[in-house]
Structures are given as C-alpha cells and as structure tokens.
Chain A
C-alpha cells in the first residue's frame, strides 16, 4: 500500500518568513495530493490540492509543488502570519482521491511573533 513520509515534524519560523514542508510517497499510481491544516480540537481543513498532471499550484500565500519522478511534493507558505500556526498534513491517493487518503504524520508549524 501507499506510504507517505512528511518532514519536518516541527517547524518554527519568524512571522513574515516562509515555511516549507516536504512529503514523499511510495506508490507511483498515486495521482492526487491534498494538504490539510488542523487546529486544536478541530477536524482537518483542506487548504490546497494538486493532481499529478500539474507541477505547481498557487493560492495567494500558499503553493504546492509536485515532482512525480522523485515522488515528492512540498507545501510553501509565504509571509507567514500567527494564524498559520497549526498542524499541517500531506496526503496521497490513487484514482483521483475517490478512495481513502493516506496521510503523513503531520508538521507542527509554529509562527514566532
């Protein structure tokens, strides 16, 4: 089955700086890669996703890049703000995400004021 590795487990950045979280996946058949943000006591909230036919996708301060050959994808957050502090999860899925998602273990992002 699919295995998703996520790094780092904790990331502390100064407010206004950029943050990068990286994930690798094992199954070359995976073709859908979402990123979720989870705040304490809440369920995961989708922030951005990318399909395997696209190399990069941006939404305001958030971007995701995908390297299918290397089987890794990354989340980039620019101009970080205190409200960006949360746990971020990457995930991978086959069949365009129609089946269950396989998640990484998460990155605790801390924005230092």
Chain B
C-alpha cells in the first residue's frame, strides 16, 4: 500500500492553457474521487468513478473540466482554457467500495 499518488505536485501555467493532472489510486481501490480545495476552505467534491464508470459529474465546475479513468486504474483531470479562478489544490482520493476515502497530497495549480 503505497498511498494515493498525484502528479505533478505543482503546475504553473498561463491563463488560457490546458492542463492535465494524474492520480494513481491505492492498488485495488475501485472508487476514485476528485476534489478541489481553495485557500482557507474545505475540499469541494467534483466527480467520482467506480472502476472505469464515471458515476457523478454534475458537480464538475464547468464544461472546461473533464475527467477520465480509462482502464479503471489511474485517472486524469483536465482543465481546458484555464482561468485565474482555477488556481487551487486539486485532490484525488480512493476507496475500496466507498469508505474510508484516502487522499493524495494534491496538485497545486497556479495560473499566471
């Protein structure tokens, strides 16, 4: 059990660029969750997968946000045409069957 791994740890990009983050869940965890955390706030749920199926995506912040988990293992979160307001920590969590959710250390996105 090596824990949830997120890459990169920090991403700096210019406004308008596309960015992609990767999450590797704990081995054999079938559920994978994405959250966004802004400064001084708790994590905000975005979307989740059970295996390769995306079961909830209505909470994604806009149509610029999309997520995939093509083979039911790692997942990617993409933000297109980044805006200043997208600057935040993006957290991934995984679980086996539901709870508890184990979080990674996140990817911090900075928009110049």
A interface with B by C-beta (< 8 Å):
4, 6, 32, 34, 36, 41-46, 49, 89, 91, 93, 95-106
Check B48 for interface membership: any CB of A closer than 8 A: yes
What CA separation (Å) do A42 and B105 show in the bound complex? 5
Q: A34-B99, A96-B99, A97-B99 are in contact. Are A43 and B41 (CB under 8 A)?
A: no
Contact across chains for B98 and A97 when beta carbons are under 8 A apart: yes
Contact across chains for B101 and A46 when beta carbons are under 8 A apart: yes
Residues of A within 8 Å of B31, CB to CB, are: 98
Contact across chains for A105 and B99 when beta carbons are under 8 A apart: no
What CA separation (Å) do A93 and B98 show in the bound complex? 11
What CA separation (Å) do A32 and B47 show in the bound complex? 18
Residues of A within 8 Å of B48, CB to CB, are: 99-100
Q: Looking at chain B, what size class is its interface with the partner chain?
A: 20 to 34
B interface with A by C-beta (< 8 Å):
4, 31, 33, 35, 40-48, 55-56, 59, 91, 93, 95, 97-106
Residues of B within 8 Å of A102, CB to CB, are: 45
Residues of B within 8 Å of A97, CB to CB, are: 95, 98-101
Contact across chains for A43 and B103 when beta carbons are under 8 A apart: yes
Residue from B40, B41, B42, B99 with most neighbouring chain A CB atoms (10 Å): B42
Residues of A within 8 Å of B105, CB to CB, are: 41-43
Contact across chains for A103 and B99 when beta carbons are under 8 A apart: no
What CA separation (Å) do A103 and B35 show in the bound complex? 11
Q: Which of A43, A45, A49 is close to B99, meaning CB atoms less than 8 Å apart?
A: A49
Residues of A within 8 Å of B93, CB to CB, are: 43
Contact across chains for B91 and A44 when beta carbons are under 8 A apart: yes
What 11 new A-B contacts, CB under 8 Å, besides A46-B102, A98-B99?
A4-B42, A34-B101, A43-B4, A43-B103, A43-B104, A43-B106, A46-B100, A46-B101, A89-B42, A98-B31, A99-B55
What CA separation (Å) do A106 and B44 show in the bound complex? 12
Contact across chains for A106 and B97 when beta carbons are under 8 A apart: no
Q: Which of B40, B59, B103 is close to A100, meaning CB atoms less than 8 Å apart?
A: B59
